Amino acid sequence: MRILALDTATEICSAALLLDERLLQREQRLERGHAAAILPMVDTLLREAGVGLRSLDAIAFGRGPGAFTGVRLAASVTQGLAFGAALPVVPVSDLQALAQRAIDDDGAIAGVLACADARMHEVYWGCFERSVEGFARAHGEERVGPPAEVKLPSRWMPAGSPAAAASSASAALAGVGSGFAAYPELLTSVPLDLHRPDLLPRAAEIARLAVPEVAAGRFLAPEQALPVYLRDDVARPPPSSS
């Protein structure tokens, strides 16, 4: 399986090239300038691997939620590359990629609450479980809303114990993402075993999550590489503090 992946939804601008079991990746933390950085990253990876874009099976991208300009950028760059090389595309949730990063980092994690700062006193959030294959699988829909509305699935907390929902006594539930850094109340209001507010989604995990989608034929035409914002009204002002 040969998959190019890219992500510009957060301050981490990243690209990854998965060639069967070999993974090449580039990433840079940027406050701005993702548009100038992402294509040189892609070119560097292709040259390093000695492969052409047309020899790949698909292009995957972080489809959001995330920064609006960043999510649009990833979709538009993917469209352009995929059209030019006649490749299918695979949109991957940035919250799912964030959860996958946590699962890959810690084998004890059975469930993940991925929570990203959405500004305007809101967070993007979703719950994910570790599959038997080791992939982050969505449990319910992804949402956007105030931190007070964030909650875990009821079946993750039998007898009032979050970790008891997992199949082994050592399994844990993790909270990851910038939402926990932006809204510290989430650290205590949601019962979790560990927190990683520092984690951000990356193209490496997007490439990994795209593999079973491509293998199953669940991919799209280039023109269907579209962003997902979750929030409908992107111009809505923040609520008044009065």
Q: How far apart are CA 86 and CA 168, in angstroms?
A: 45
* pLDDT score at 160: 45
Q: 112-151: per-residue pLDDT in tens?
A: 999 999 999 999 999 999 999 999 999 999 999 999 999 9
Q: Which of 110-114, 159-163, 238-242 is predicted least confidently? A: 238-242
Same domain, 34 and 55: yes
Place 231 in a pLDDT band, splitting at 50, 70 and 90.
Answer: confident
* pLDDT score at 166: 46
Burial letters for 207-218: b for 16+ Cβ neighbours within 10 Å, e otherwise? bbbbbebbeeee
Asked if residue 241 belongs to a domain, the reply is: no
Place 174 in a pLDDT band, splitting at 50, 70 and 90.
Answer: very high
Residue 104 has pLDDT above 50, yes or no: yes
3-class SS of residue 218: coil
Question: How many structural domains are present in the chain?
Answer: 2
Q: Above pLDDT 90, what percent of the chain?
A: 86
Same domain, 57 and 131: no
The mean pLDDT of 148-156, rounded to a whole number, is 92
* pLDDT score at 232: 66
Same domain, 109 and 68: no
Same domain, 25 and 145: no
Q: How far apart are CA 29 and CA 34, in angstroms?
A: 9
Asked if residue 147 belongs to a domain, the reply is: yes
Place 170 in a pLDDT band, splitting at 50, 70 and 90.
Answer: low
Place 165 in a pLDDT band, splitting at 50, 70 and 90.
Answer: very low
Place 157 in a pLDDT band, splitting at 50, 70 and 90.
Answer: confident
Same domain, 116 and 182: yes
Same domain, 119 and 85: no
Residue 157: give its domain's CATH number: 3.30.420.40
Same domain, 6 and 88: yes
Average pLDDT, the chain: 91
* pLDDT score at 156: 86
Distances (CA, A) of 169 to 45, 75, 111, 173, 179: 41, 41, 13, 12, 28
Q: 22-79: per-residue pLDDT in tens?
A: 999 999 999 899 999 999 999 999 999 999 999 999 999 999 999 999 999 999 999 9
State the residue range of the domain holding 163. 94-196
Same domain, 17 and 74: yes
Cβ neighbors of 158 (< 8 A, separation 6 or more) are 164, 165
Q: Above pLDDT 70, what percent of the chain?
A: 90
Same domain, 63 and 111: no
Asked if residue 215 belongs to a domain, the reply is: yes
